[in-house]
Chains A and B, each alone.
Chain A
Amino acid sequence: MGGRLNLYKFSSPATFYPLAGKIGKISTLIAVVLLVIGLYMSFFVAPTDYKQGEGYRIIFIHVPSAWMSMFIYLVMAFWAGIGLVFNTRLSSMMAQALAPTGAIMTFIALWTGAFWGKPMWGAWWVWDARLTSELILFFLYIGFIALQGSIDDARRADRAGAVLLLVGVVNIPIIYFSVKWWNTLHQGASVSVTEGSNMSTIMLQAMLIMTFAFWAYSIAVSMYRVRAIILEREKDTRWVSELPEIRR
């Protein structure tokens, strides 16, 4: 019973607002530290690749951003689904706060993929199953943001966005398994839960540190964004008018 009560307590925007600030601060710190370590490792510690020379270093941002692009979508769909079923305002706000970060991660994955594909494969863009489905993911993010932007009523925006997100979830397994199902140009996964990794240890460590850095970055940015959204949505409530940054 106590656990339930706690959960309900934190699902109220008023209690989550200061908590989000704390989480945001800690995540920013973690993100900066990990980024510094990760970048140092990606450029100075990780050795040259036997085949791709220095060019492979793009992997240290390409793979983390591609993972994040899919993961953020799943998290958004999760929060949106919770918001739809339990009618919690906060979870819909979380989904809304994550969307721009997810779109940016997808864009980074596509951009760095192009800059990696040109020297290695020999083409900026190929109509490969992996690339096409990732592009569709980018469009889905843009569609979600546009839908939320064009509905004035916050409640309707939340719920309409949730339906769209849940429909679009079909795309995520397609992206992930595309390299297995349609074996074309994009290489398979280097790291998998079942088969371990096909990278040398130090490269893998650098990539994982960068992944955690991207993770912390996404948490930090979305926490700060959700705070702004909470203020916007709850501007008529008493607790907002009593906040020190509002009263000044």
Chain B
Amino acid sequence: MKGGLSEFFAMGGYALYVWGSFGMTALLMIAEPLLVRQRRKAVIQRVSRLVRLKSEQKL
């Protein structure tokens, strides 16, 4: 099985190209949702602070 696995990762000599492509794609497709989540958190924090500020002003 070990031979099979290293053979799989060798990709018939195309390891650099296949894994280079899939690796970059994976990197971007993991990073993008994380960035969106971060943006959402930041927005919620900012807006809720704004809302709280407003309600305090009213009191």
A adjacent to B, CB under 8 Å: yes
**Which A residues are within 8 Å of any B CB, using their own CB?**
43, 48, 53-55, 57-58, 61-62, 65, 100-101, 104, 107-108, 111-112, 115-116, 118-119, 217, 220-221, 224-225, 227-228, 231-232, 235, 240-241, 245-248
With a cutoff of 8 Å between Cβ atoms, the chain A residues found around residue B50 in the complex are: 235
Provide the bound-state CA to CA distance between A57 and B51, in Å.
Answer: 51
List 22 A-B residue pairs with CB atoms under 8 Å apart, sorted by A's residue number. A53-B14, A55-B13, A55-B14, A55-B17, A57-B18, A62-B21, A104-B32, A111-B25, A115-B20, A119-B14, A217-B29, A220-B33, A221-B33, A224-B37, A225-B36, A225-B39, A231-B40, A231-B44, A240-B47, A245-B48, A246-B47, A247-B48
- A55/B12 contact (C-beta < 8 A), A100-B32, A108-B25, A221-B32 known: yes
Residues of B within 8 A of A (CB): 8, 11-14, 16-18, 20-22, 24-25, 28-29, 32-33, 36-37, 39-40, 43-44, 46-48, 50-51, 54
Q: Which residues of B contact A43 (CB under 8 A)?
A: 8
Instruction: Please state if A248 and B48 are interface contacts (CB–CB under 8 Å).
Output: yes
Alpha-carbon distance A48/B22, docked complex (angstroms): 17
Q: Are B21 and A112 in contact (CB under 8 A)?
A: yes
The interface residues of chain B, by DSSP majority, are classed as: helix
Give bound CA distance, A55 to B8, whole Å.
12
Which residue of the partner chain, among B12, B25, B47, B51, contacts A54 with CB atoms under 8 Å? B12
Contact partner of B36 (CB less than 8 A), chosen from A57, A224, A235, A248, is: A224
Question: How many Å from the CB of A145 to the closest CB on chain B?
Answer: 13
Since A48-B12, A231-B43, A241-B51 are in contact, a sample of 12 more A-B pairs with Cβ atoms closer than 8 Å, ordered by chain A residue number, is A43-B8, A53-B13, A54-B11, A54-B12, A55-B14, A62-B21, A108-B24, A108-B25, A115-B16, A115-B21, A220-B33, A224-B36
Is B36 a contact partner of A221 (Cβ separation < 8 A)?
A: yes
B24 touches A231 (CB 8 A): no
What chain A residues lie within 8 Å of B16 (beta carbons)?
115
Query: Residues of B contacting A248 with CB < 8 Å?
Result: 48
Measured between C-beta atoms, what is the minimum distance from A27 to chain B in Å? 11
State in angstroms the CA–CA spacing of A102 and B52 once bound together: 36
- Residues on A with beta carbons closer than 8 Å to the beta carbon of B14: 53-55, 57, 119
